């Protein structure tokens, strides 16, 4: 005979309610200490830098301020924290600021080009005319149309050469294999080390000098191709190699031939990553100046025929005008650089979209 | 060997019971044979083109090596009028600029990679990775323009400042008086340090990409273990992420060094050509192999052109060695060539 008894209440005080310890939160000290250190460093350096020490220049000031800031912050933390925490804080500051510095370097480069190029970009004729204007002509005469056309033609030829070759070679290296493919891979990897200027010099000697041809757009496209081909082949191979082997085996086990496996399984699986890799390779090709510098020749006139006469591209145009002492030419150079930057950004955006397509599919 | 089985299958000879791989004969379809043939054709074509370029460079460079022999590597001058060509100063200048660039780029790349993999919020991470990719694809002429027109005027004062403070160290010496009432600004322009800063910004994303990828692969369990033992975030990075990513750090840096060696346009836009072995990085003037080629190819014929190619070939070989070491180090730090499900 048992009866269920309710547990007897005791008058012990209830245990204190458990509070989750906040692992992520930042204390007031965490928040205010860097601010205080920054302000203190600013005050200290502005007192010492110009007035007491014989120093000058904005960049030098910033460097000194930063060093003082880190030192003050370490000192401030050292008052209240043990040494591992001080190291952690200082390391955190160094890492964050280095990322900040890198980000602002990129932002500065892009923004500066657009700011300096703005006077040229403001005139629509930049996009509709070639540069028949002299150095003294105002910015509403003359433009970079011939550069844009040249860039598009050259990169078009380079793409039509390197893309099939590069992807075909990558398919050979990953899917067919064999002893020869190892040699191909070694050579391709070695050629990615070829400095881009040497690509230009190669085409200059092997094509232009040997056959005594004037510099032209096709030679420039070939030089770009020589530079791009190993990059494209190698990045395509890397992308194809990460296609899971199990997928290939599954396809073969279902009776598909190797060609069917490559066409229906391997390439579709790798497509988004492949597109990204290709587009990034193309972006490199568009922006590269040095192979074009030697092979394309400089002209101020529109030339849409890649096989005859010099054909300028945007980077070469920007480079050539930037070396001129004329301020108006320099502004035009920045205008061309800004157009080039837009082109690269567009290409880059396409690459990103292709990459995000991969993410959605998963 | 297989005693248990023989007891039950007495009729069979022993040899049949040993597992042997079945011979698989792949009967390739016509399509497959065409496909394999074409793929092989592409591979061979690329091999011929790329190998041909390498052989061409080597052959064309032979006359220069034959003419000047070892003197080619020890002569500072590049003086075709007198028939004296040498790449000692050029190679030295290339090395100095690439090294200074790496000294500047390495801590920044490491810091940025650590920030992206360890500090950044997961949402920001994607954008930061895209930012580094973008940084790698910004054309070099743009970095060159920004370096020449924005950085250079500012760097004059910093260079003078460093010269003033640390001028007693040989590499920071400049042949002028920093304290003069009107200091010689032109002595501080077009210097290797300015070129090196620009090159550093250009190659930094390449190092950063490799490092970040390796840091991301650091095992989660070990990270948590470090935290559970009471480690701070930096303590965890130092004891887990950095040791794990050592291969990526070294490899990425070498890869970036390879890029730094071959950089042309940004350096041409900034550096004033000067054929001299010099370590004074703050002082006006210097020369690298790519700038040598870019500025001298037009006026060159015959032997001089061969000299330029030889210089390019030497640079290629140096870059190749750097890249190969980098590749070996990076692949060693990862596992497996292909991914399996």
* DSSP string over A89-139: HHHHHHHHHHHHHHHHHHHHHHHHHHHHHHHHHTSGGGGT--S-S-TTS-T
CATH code of the domain containing A260: 1.10.3720.10
pLDDT at A182 over 90: no
Rg of the Cα atoms in chain B: 28
Each residue of B156-191: b (16+ CB within 10 Å) or e?
Answer: bbbbbbbbbeeeeeebbbbebebeeeebeeebbbbb
In terms of domains, do A104 and A249 share one? no
In terms of domains, do A157 and A289 share one? yes
Return d(Cα B306, Cα B59) in angstroms, integer.
Answer: 9
Cα first-last separation, chain A = 63
Tens of pLDDT along B24-75? 776 778 888 888 898 999 999 999 988 888 898 889 888 888 888 888 888 8
* CA B285 to chain centroid: 24
pLDDT at residue B122, rounded to an integer: 87
pLDDT at residue B337, rounded to an integer: 37
Residue A80 maps to a domain: yes
In terms of domains, do A149 and A227 share one? yes
Number of domains in chain A: 2
* Bridge partner list, B84: B79
Residue A321 vs residues A113, A309, A311, A334, A340: alpha-carbon distances, Å = 14, 20, 15, 9, 14
> Closest Cα to residue B291, out of A192, A296, A198?
A198
Residue A216 maps to a domain: yes
Does 1.10.760.10 match the CATH number of domain B68-332? no
Return d(Cα A233, Cα A170) in angstroms, integer.
Answer: 5
In terms of domains, do A107 and A203 share one? no
Mark yes or no for CB contact B50/A187 under 8 Å: yes
pLDDT at A24 over 70: no
Q: Contact A201/B315 with Cβ under 8 angstroms? A: no
Which residues lie closer than 8 Å to B230 by C-beta, 6 or more apart? none
With contacts defined as CB-CB under 8 Å, which chain B residues touch A195? 261-262, 264, 289-290, 312, 315-316, 319
In this structure, what is the dihedral angle of CA atoms A297, A302, A306, A312, given to the nearest 10 degrees?
30
pLDDT at residue B2, rounded to an integer: 46
- The residue in chain A having the minimum alpha-carbon distance to the alpha carbon of residue B31 is A259
Which domain-ending residue is among A69, A93, A115? A115
- Percent with pLDDT over 90 in chain A: 28
In terms of domains, do A152 and A295 share one? yes
Mark yes or no for CB contact A191/B265 under 8 Å: no
CA B43-B44-B48 angle, to 5 degrees, is 120
Average pLDDT score, chain A: 85
Interface probe for B, chosen from A48, A276, A319, A334 (most Cβ of B below 10 Å), is A319
Mark yes or no for CB contact B340/A246 under 8 Å: yes
Query: Within a 13 Å sphere around the CA of A206, how many CA atoms are in the beta-carbon half?
Result: 23
Return d(Cα A234, Cα A239) in angstroms, integer.
Answer: 9
Band the pLDDT of A165: cuts 50, 70, 90. very high
In terms of domains, do A276 and A347 share one? yes
In terms of domains, do A98 and A156 share one? no
Mark yes or no for CB contact B42/A165 under 8 Å: yes
Give the range among A136-145, A190-199, B199-208 with minimum mean pLDDT: A136-145
Residue B10 vs residues A208, A350, B1, B6, B202: alpha-carbon distances, Å = 81, 70, 15, 6, 75
More confident: A358 or B116? B116
Across the range B251-267, mean pLDDT stands at 89
Q: Contact A332/A142 with Cβ under 8 angstroms? A: yes
pLDDT at residue B176, rounded to an integer: 78
pLDDT at residue B199, rounded to an integer: 95
Which residues lie closer than 8 Å to B95 by C-beta, 6 or more apart? B261
Residues 123-152 of A with CB under 8 A from B: none
Each residue of B67-106: b (16+ CB within 10 Å) or e?
Answer: ebeeebeebbebebeeeebbbbbbbbbbbbbbebbbebbb
Tens of pLDDT along A28-74? 878 888 898 989 999 888 888 777 776 666 777 888 889 999 999 99
Tokens coding A326:
């004329």
In terms of domains, do A111 and A151 share one? no
Residues 160-199 of A with CB under 8 A from B: 164-166, 168-169, 171-173, 175-176, 178, 180-181, 183-184, 187-198
pLDDT at residue A191, rounded to an integer: 87
- Percent with pLDDT over 90 in chain B: 27
pLDDT at residue B117, rounded to an integer: 92
Average pLDDT score, chain B: 84
Tokens coding A247:
């997928």
Which domain-ending residue is among A61, A94, A115? A115
Closest CB to B149: pick one of A116, A280, A290. A116
What DSSP character marks residue B245? Answer: T
Which residues lie closer than 8 Å to B170 by C-beta, 6 or more apart? B279, B280
pLDDT at residue A30, rounded to an integer: 80
Three-state DSSP at B75 gives: coil
Tens of pLDDT along A223-273? 999 999 998 998 899 889 888 889 999 998 998 888 999 999 999 988 888
In terms of domains, do A288 and A173 share one? yes
- Domain of residue A87 covers 28-115
Give the range among A121-125, B31-35, B138-142 with minimum mean pLDDT: A121-125
Return d(Cα B208, Cα B84) in angstroms, integer.
Answer: 42
Tokens coding B291:
């700038």
């Amino acid at each position: 005979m048992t009866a269920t008894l309710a547990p007897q209440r005791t008058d012990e005080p209830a245990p204190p309610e458990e509070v989750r310890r906040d692992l992520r939160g930042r204390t007031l000290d965490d928040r205010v200490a860097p601010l205080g250190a920054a302000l203190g460093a600013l005050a200290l350096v502005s007192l010492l830098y110009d007035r007491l020490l014989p120093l000058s220049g904005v960049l030098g000031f910033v460097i000194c301020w930063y060093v003082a800031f880190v030192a003050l912050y370490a000192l401030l933390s050292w008052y209240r924290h043990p040494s591992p925490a001080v190291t952690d804080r200082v390391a955190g500051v160094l890492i964050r600021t280095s990322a900040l510095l890198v980000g602002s370097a990129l932002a500065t480069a892009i923004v500066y080009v657009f700011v300096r190029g703005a006077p040229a970009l403001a005139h629509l004729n930049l996009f509709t005319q070639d540069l028949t204007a002299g150095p003294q002509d105002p910015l509403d005469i003359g433009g970079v149309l011939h550069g844009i056309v040249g860039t598009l033609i050259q990169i078009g030829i380079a793409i039509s050469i390197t893309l099939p070759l590069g992807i075909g070679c990558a398919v050979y290296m990953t899917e067919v294999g064999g002893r020869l493919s190892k040699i191909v891979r070694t050579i391709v990897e070695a050629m990615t080390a070829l400095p881009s200027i040497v690509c230009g010099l190669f085409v200059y000697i092997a094509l232009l000098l040997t056959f005594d041809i004037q510099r032209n757009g096709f030679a420039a496209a070939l030089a770009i191709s020589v530079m791009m081909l190993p990059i494209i082949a190698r990045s395509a191979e890397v992308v194809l190699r990460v296609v899971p082997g199990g997928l290939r085996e599954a396809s073969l086990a279902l009776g598909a031939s190797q060609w069917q496996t490559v066409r229906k399984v391997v390439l579709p699986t790798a497509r988004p990553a492949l597109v990204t890799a290709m587009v990034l390779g193309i972006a490199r090709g568009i922006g590269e100046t040095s192979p074009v510098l030697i092979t394309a020749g400089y002209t101020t006139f529109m030339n849409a025929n890649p096989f005859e006469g010099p054909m300028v591209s945007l980077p070469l145009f920007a480079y050539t005008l930037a070396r001129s002492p004329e301020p108006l030419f320099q502004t035009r150079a920045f205008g061309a650089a800004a157009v080039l930057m837009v082109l690269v950004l567009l290409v880059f955006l396409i690459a990103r979209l292709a990459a995000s397509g991969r993410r959605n599919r998963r | 060997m297989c005693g248990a089985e023989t007891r039950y299958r007495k009729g069979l000879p022993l040899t049949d019971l040993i597992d042997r791989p079945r011979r698989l004969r792949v009967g390739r379809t016509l399509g497959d044979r065409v496909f394999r043939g074409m793929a092989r054709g592409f591979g061979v074509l690329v091999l011929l083109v790329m190998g041909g370029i390498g052989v061409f460079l080597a052959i064309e460079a032979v006359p220069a090596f034959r003419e000047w022999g070892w003197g080619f590597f020890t002569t500072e001058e590049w003086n075709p009028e007198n028939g004296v060509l040498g790449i000692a100063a050029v190679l030295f200048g290339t090395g100095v600029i690439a090294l200074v660039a790496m000294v500047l780029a390495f801590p920044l790349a490491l810091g940025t990679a650590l920030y992206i993999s360890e500090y950044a919020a997961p949402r920001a991470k994607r954008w930061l990775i895209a930012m580094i990719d973008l940084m790698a694809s910004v054309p070099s002429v743009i970095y060159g323009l920004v370096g020449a027109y924005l950085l250079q005027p500012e760097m004059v004062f910093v260079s003078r400042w460093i010269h003033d403070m640390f001028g007693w160290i040989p590499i920071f010496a400049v042949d002028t008086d920093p304290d003069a009432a009107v200091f010689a600004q032109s002595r501080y322009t077009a210097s290797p340090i300015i070129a090196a800063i620009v090159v550093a910004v250009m190659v930094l994303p390449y190092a950063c990409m490799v490092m970040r990828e390796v840091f991301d692969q650091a095992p989660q369990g070990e990270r948590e273990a470090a935290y559970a033992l009471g480690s701070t975030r930096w303590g965890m990075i130092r004891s887990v992420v950095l040791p794990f990513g050592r291969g990526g750090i070294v490899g990425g840096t070498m890869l970036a060094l390879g890029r730094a060696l071959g950089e042309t346009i940004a350096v041409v836009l900034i550096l004033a050509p000067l054929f001299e072995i010099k370590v004074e990085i703050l002082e006006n003037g210097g020369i690298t192999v790519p700038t040598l080629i870019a500025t001298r190819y037009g006026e060159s014929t015959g032997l001089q052109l061969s000299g330029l190619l030889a210089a390019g070939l030497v640079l290629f070989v140096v870059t190749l060695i750097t890249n190969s070491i980098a590749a070996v180090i990076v692949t060693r730090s990862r596992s497996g060539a292909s991914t399996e499900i």
